[in-house]
Amino acid sequence: MKTIINGVKISLRAEWFDKDLLDFLREDLDLTGAKRGCGIGVCGTCVILINELPVQACKKTVADIVDMTVLTIEGMSNKDDPLHPLQQAFIDAGAIQCGFCTPGMVLTAHAFLLKNNCPSREEIRKAIKGNLCRCTGYQQIVDAIEEAARHYRK
């Protein structure tokens, strides 16, 4: 049994299946970009993508990623291009303050833009309704996603 996380194939053992997926990522794989904000799947700080769909890792177990492709914030960019255009847009728009919500916010937006690369601001709002930010007031986050959309049209 295997999974692919950020492009790397990882063999999974059955005894890990019951483990909280967020703990598995953070403790066993040292992928600490996904944060533990609420532990009950409502704040969005632990969002990762499983087969390009955003999920709250704190509500999943290792069994949920068997034969799946997982993307965490650490896998968003690649060596040739240290920042994905969406990440750059978050920086440019001032969409980041304390940074705790940022990985989940970016991945949620990424999954959304992969499906809808020409969104209205209203659609952007709906897409990130499950991600809380206590610092920014959200406007800059919507601006960043709107700006990044054009890169998904290419």
Which residues are near other proteins by CB under 8 A? Answer: 26, 31-40, 42-43, 45, 72-74, 76-77, 82-83, 87, 90-92, 94, 96-103, 106, 125, 128-129, 131-142
Minimum gap (Å) between residue 68 Cβ and other proteins: 20
Q: Using alpha carbons only, give the angle 104, 65, 29 rounded to the nearest 5 degrees.
A: 65
Query: Which one, 3 or 140, has the nearer CB to other proteins?
Result: 140
Whichever of 1 and 151 has its CB closer to other proteins, that residue is: 151
Q: CB nearer to other proteins: give 62 or 101.
A: 101
- The C-alpha atoms of residue 54 and residue 33 are separated, in whole angstroms, by 15
